[in-house]
Amino acid sequence: MEEKRLKRFGQLIYFLDSKIDEIAAAELSDYTLTRDQLYMLELIMNDEQMTQKKLIYKLNREQTSISRAIKKLFESGLVKKEQSKFDMRSSVLKPTDKGL
């Protein structure tokens, strides 16, 4: 019985995630943003010292995945990079006027 409930629970999670993706894609279609990119942009807006390394930690994603998403945000003119005032080796991600 427990195995059957667990299987059903997994199916429901998959269904909900699919529906959320579907709704998000429809809502974001005018902006050419994915749900993940929108969330990254929100994190960047809410942290004045957001770095790529922090995004990797907060989102628990691979560096390459975050790098690609940041590149798309940068190319779309939604995010810019500035040198950190605290660590000259690091870049801070900032929203542009368009990204706000």
> Domain extents for the chain?
1-31, 33-100
Q: What's the pTM value of the predicted model, to 2 decimals?
A: 0.76
Q: Percentage of the chain surpassing pLDDT 90?
A: 61
Query: Angle 86-89-93 (CA atoms, 0-180°, nearest 5)?
Result: 70
Please give the Cα distance from 25 to 28 (Å, whole number): 5
Helices 35-45, 63-75: crossing angle, 10 deg rounding = 80
CATH topology of domain 33-100: Arc Repressor Mutant, subunit A (1.10.10)
Report the half-sphere exposure of 59 (CA within 13 A, side-chain side): 26
- Mind listing the pLDDT tens digit for each residue in 35-77? 888 899 999 999 999 999 999 999 999 999 999 999 999 999 9
